[in-house]
Structure 1
Amino acid sequence: MAKKQPKLHDDPRPLAERGLPSGRRLASGRPARSVTVNQAESPLAWLHARGHLTDRQFDAGEKLRFDYERASLGPRVTMGWNPEPRGKGRRGPADHMEPGERQLAAKQRFDGALAALSGELSDIAWRVICDGQTMAGAERGLGWPARSGKLVLRIALDRLAAFYRLPG
């Protein structure tokens, strides 16, 4: 009796490499494979989920990415449609910052973090954390040998964790 092949959508592994159910084979004779990729997952989250980064390193990278996004340093296609009303008539805590002040503070933190990294550490951190490049893409862009970027990124993330004063 033939073994029943599970359907692809029934497989509980969302990012696992799986064989195609049709049993197709490549020219080499090996079975054809497909990969399901979560497009919403960042390269940093991918490395963390697979145990390549500690929680502290991941948190440091997320803080840098937050500052990058809060400072609006990424490319923009159109004007900002900020839903927050502006003006003095707003109610809130006494230490409330206007959107421009929050943006400026994030830019200052981002600049300070990159200054703490300096040189090639800031290059790999910006490419992977802020620009969302894969590790292989960042290595190619920097002209580095394959599989060298992960070690350098971990060093950069440790320095970022110290800059952001994360416990650990």
Structure 2
Amino acid sequence: MTDGVQLLRLLRTLLAAPDGLAAALGADGLVLTVGQGGNRSFPGTVYDVALSSGLIGWSGSMLQARPEARAYLRRAMAEREEESFATQHRQEVRGEVEIGGERQAVIRNLLESPLGHLRRLKDRTGAPFLPQEAVDAGDRLAADFERGQLQPSITSTWEPRLATRSAGQGGGKQDLSDSAMMARDRLWRAVDAIGPELAGVALDVCCFYKGLEQVERERGWPSRSAKLMLRTALLALARHYAPPPANPRRHQWGAQDYRPAIDR
């Protein structure tokens, strides 16, 4: 049982006894006397956290829950219920990425868009900061990244690869399935369409699940600049996935003896 669970258990026990409970501290932690000779034990670290946080206090030899404990317990239980609900709606995968020459473990939720928190942002006019077509494009890029099985072998430094890779060239294992190879090909074409100046931020956020502040820190960008760069990249990506229709040839009709004017 974790210390967090033990802390909630301690608070529930004390809140059930408004006058407090007889308690004793020992080498093994805190022992509360409950009912007729019954005892409940808690780790000393849990007692220290509860006491230092002002959730419990002594009244003579009796240990009591302070008024703040009830609000803390209610809030903690609500968060645990929310976390339990979110866990039921996750599809997590574990992998590794190479950052700064070191392999780091990552956990990603395939059922949650990496742009989920950004789609809630508004611009100065109150319109969504990221248009829906930009969000859809980012999700499509992330889906091809997953289908292409690129996570284990791709580093966070993409720009040198973009500058040296020839058009249509993929990367990685030769024994990939056809669907994985097709996903890689789609991803590389999308990266080419975005361009090397903007592809990095799109890949960092959509495929590596990096936050904007982390992107700015790693790339030495000014504060709040990654948000604008990402928006520009995703709009370019959206145009790649759904090019605008070409302007149709315009015809002008005239009377039977109409002759167009010719500039001399």
**Fold-level match, TM-score > 0.5?**
yes
Secondary structure of the structure 1 residue equivalent to 2:222: coil
> How far did 1:42 drift?
4.9
Pick aligned residue for 2:235 from 135, 145, 158? 158
Tell whether the 8 Å contact from 1:56 to 1:166 is kept in structure 2 after alignment. no
Q: Aligned ranges for residues 5-20 of structure 1 at < 5 Å?
A: 5=71, 7-10=75-78
State the identity as a percent.
35
- Paired position in structure 1 for 2:118: 47
Pick aligned residue for 2:218 from 131, 141, 144? 141
Structure 2 vs 1, CA of residues 61 and 133 (structure 1 numbering), >3 Å: closer, same or farther? same
List per-residue Cα deviations over 1:46-84 (Å, max 9, x = no partner): 1013443221111000000011111111117xxxxxxxx
User: Highest CA radius of gyration, 1 or 2?
Assistant: 2
- Paired position in structure 2 for 1:35: none
Amino acid at match of 1:150: K
Amino acid at match of 2:134: Q
Give me the whole-angstrom Cα distance separating, in 1, the residues matched to 2:149 and 2:232: 26
> How far did 1:120 drift?
2.3
**Alignment RMSD, CA only?**
3.0
Query: Greater share of strand residues, 1 or 2?
Result: 2
Secondary structure of the structure 2 residue equivalent to 1:131: coil
Amino acid at match of 1:135: L
Give me the whole-angstrom Cα distance separating, in 2, the residues matched to 1:144 and 1:136: 9
Q: Aligned ranges for residues 14-163 of structure 1 at < 5 Å?
A: 40=109, 41-51=112-122, 52-75=129-152, 100-163=177-240
Q: Which runs of 5+ in 1 are unaligned?
A: 16-38, 77-98
Give me the whole-angstrom Cα distance separating, in 2, the residues matched to 1:42 and 1:148: 21
Amino acid at match of 1:68: F
> How far did 1:139 drift?
1.1
Secondary structure of the structure 2 residue equivalent to 1:47: coil
Tell whether the 8 Å contact from 1:135 to 1:149 is kept in structure 2 after alignment. yes
Higher relative contact order (CA 8 A, sep 6+): 1
TM-score (norm 1): 0.61
Tell whether the 8 Å contact from 2:149 to 2:180 is kept in structure 1 after alignment. yes
Aligned residues: 121
Give me the whole-angstrom Cα distance separating, in 2, the residues matched to 1:166 and 1:45: 24
Amino acid at match of 1:49: R
Give me the whole-angstrom Cα distance separating, in 1, the residues matched to 2:242 and 2:221: 30
TM-score (norm 2): 0.40
